[in-house]
Structure 1
Amino acid sequence: MRALLVVNPAATTTSARTRDVLIHALASEMKLDAVTTEYRGHARDLGRQAADSDDIDLVVALGGDGTVNEVVNGLLHRGPAPERLPRLAVVPGGSTNVFARALGLPNDAVEATGAILDALRDGSERTVGLGLASGTPGSEDAAAPERWFTFNAGLGFDAGVVGRVEQQRERGKKSTHALYVRQVVRQFLGEPSRRHGSITLGRPGEDPVTDLVVAIVSNTSPWTYLGNRPMYTSPKASFDMGLDVLGLSRLSTAAVARYGTQLLTSSPERGPHGRHAVSLHDLSGFTLHSKVPLPLQMDGDHLGLRTSVTFTGVRRALRVIV
């Protein structure tokens, strides 16, 4: 077996010594080419090269959710073809690692490597569904490039938080859960439309859902983690189904307190709920349109402002080692 290891040297929770140990462990079981990323988008380029190669059987992503997202977008640059494309394995190296943990992998890089090697020996893999976002025909964002996401996307409030976190990281701040909490508070205080949202969710054959402040799209559950605590916006979301959406139409102080408490106490059986919450399950496709440009995020990566995004749930898109 020939494998490509994509290493993000800035991975939050792995040292250079740990990366050397992981590379040695993987190289003992397969023919391994290890490449360290050197620029934003490099992991995507490496994934694209692997997808076009005739002899790479496996791509291992060592890094956080952003690294995984780039690799996935590279692998799927010509669309999903699970039987043709290299399989994907993920070694968590970021601060949260939602995708790896949702697959059931340990959050420790060394333990996850051991689990992956065991899975390869046992031939254990699964084919997962993914989300695809694209520009909406006829909108000002019609030419926006397609982008795959592995676990979630968001338009509005949560994407604004992601953007604020990225700004802080560019200033040298370390990515921590405390940093995210602070940016949630700042985003709330700066949110211009907490009571009357601008987002409309449209889907074929159904009445539109209007006046949303935020729309969180989930491809799996949980939505994210606060330390070791999983938080569920759409508990029924699954890699084996379409996309789920949680929409909130009000973010007043009382609403934020209520939904924040519900998130912290959420479970695989119940997520946020109430008069201003809308939950939709197993959607194959829908469009989010906003009256004003709003921030968009996918897998924790801020993608700028958009007024319209079309989402598609693509089942059985990629084979993953588990």
Structure 2
Amino acid sequence: MRALLVHNPHATATRPAVTDVIAHALSSELKLDVEATQRHGHAISLAADAVGAGYEVVIAHGGDGTLNEVVQGIAGTDVKLAVIPGGSTNVWARTLGMPNDAVAATSLILRKLGEREDRRVNLGVANGRYFAFCAGLGYDAEVVRMVERRIRMKRTVRQASFLWCGFLAYLAGRGQDALLSLTVDGEPTHAGLRAVVCCNSSPYTYLGPLPALVCPDADLDRALDVTGLTRVGLLSLARLARAALTSGNVDRLGHVRTWRDRDRYEVVATAPVPLHVDGEFVGETDRLTLGTARSALTVVA
């Protein structure tokens, strides 16, 4: 089987020695080529080129940002995706049941490839960009943007960087000023939202070993779920975090609105607000269209 390993040497938890071990293990059973990303967005072109070159599987080693870029290049094709965790959180890999240890994940991937264990799953689409597990408009996207500006901090303290930047974003009031209006499958508009999170799978993220169930019923085999917040004050965010990390009953909170298993959402904001997909900041927008790409990706899982 012809395979391409795309690795991000700057991902939070990647190390050259570990990447060498992974490549050696993979090459023992696969016809393997290895490419390192050199810049933001590079994994997109590497994955797309792999499709044209006839590779059967692309193996992404890095964080969720690297994974998202690879997805852009192979979605809608027959090329399989395998994921080896190398970031600070590794949401997608853990959602697929991969070990959070890169070497252990490599061993599992080889077994699954040998036994042809794979499945076709849905992807989300946010303004034309695919996402594997989540997209966020507003406060959480501002947190992602602030973390991306602090790469050294992220590599040093990992997930704690998101907690710190979440506090900084709250103090600065960023991602909190605009009002968002949501239309669901053409139904009447739901106004007065301050932030929107859309999930293609659950969990939304992890805090250490704890899954954060912001859209607890989201599933790779269904359409998209959305959770909207009418308030993003410190107490409201703390209550949301507590519910997401303990019971998953976020819909019982007074400032939370939820929609499940819908094919299309449209969001209009009173001012441009930050947007992220799979934990990667992609810019600001005042209009967002969310949809489902059915059976768009084959994953080794």
Deviation at 1:192, TM superposition (A): 6.2
Question: Which residue in 2 is equivalent to 1:285?
Answer: 264
User: Quick check: 1:284–1:314 contact (8 Å CA) kept in 2?
Assistant: no
CA–CA distance in structure 2, aligned partners of residues 23 and 74 of structure 1: 21
Deviations along 1:267-309, one digit per CA (max 9) or x if unpaired, are: 4xx3353222111111111111101110101111111211001
Question: Which residue in 2 is equivalent to 1:10?
Answer: 10
Structure 2: state its 5+ residue gaps: none
Name which of structure 1's ranges 310-319 and 199-208 shifts more when overlaid on structure 2: 199-208
Structure 1: state its 5+ residue gaps: 135-145
Question: Which residue in 1 is equivalent to 2:88?
Answer: 95
CA–CA distance in structure 2, aligned partners of residues 67 and 132 of structure 1: 17
More helix by share: 2
Deviation at 1:263, TM superposition (A): 2.3
User: Quick check: 1:263–1:272 contact (8 Å CA) kept in 2?
Assistant: no
Deviation at 1:36, TM superposition (A): 1.1
Structure 1 residues 253, 171: CA separation in 2 closer, same or farther (over 3 Å shift)? Answer: closer
Q: Does 1:128 align with 2:121?
A: yes
Deviations along 1:89-112, one digit per CA (max 9) or x if unpaired, are: 111111100011001111110110
Structure 1 residues 174, 88: CA separation in 2 closer, same or farther (over 3 Å shift)? Answer: same
Question: Which residue in 1 is equivalent to 2:130?
Answer: 148
Deviation at 1:197, TM superposition (A): 5.4
Q: Does 1:200 align with 2:199?
A: no
User: Quick check: 2:22–2:106 contact (8 Å CA) kept in 1?
Assistant: yes
Superposed, 1:12-161 pairs within 5 Å as: 12-53=12-53, 55-76=54-75, 80-81=76-77, 85-134=78-127, 146-161=128-143
Give percent identity, aligned residues only.
41
Superposed, 1:231-246 pairs within 5 Å as: 231-246=212-227
Question: Which residue in 1 is equivalent to 2:151?
Answer: 169
Structure 1 residues 253, 13: CA separation in 2 closer, same or farther (over 3 Å shift)? Answer: closer
Structure 1 residues 218, 204: CA separation in 2 closer, same or farther (over 3 Å shift)? Answer: closer
Deviations along 1:125-147, one digit per CA (max 9) or x if unpaired, are: 0111101112xxxxxxxxxxx21
Report the TM-score, using the length of structure 1 for normalisation.
0.89
Report the TM-score, using the length of structure 2 for normalisation.
0.95
CA–CA distance in structure 2, aligned partners of residues 172 and 118 of structure 1: 32
CA–CA distance in structure 1, aligned partners of residues 88 and 104 of structure 2: 16
What letter is aligned with 1:110? V
**Cα root mean square deviation, aligned:** 1.7
Aligned residues: 301
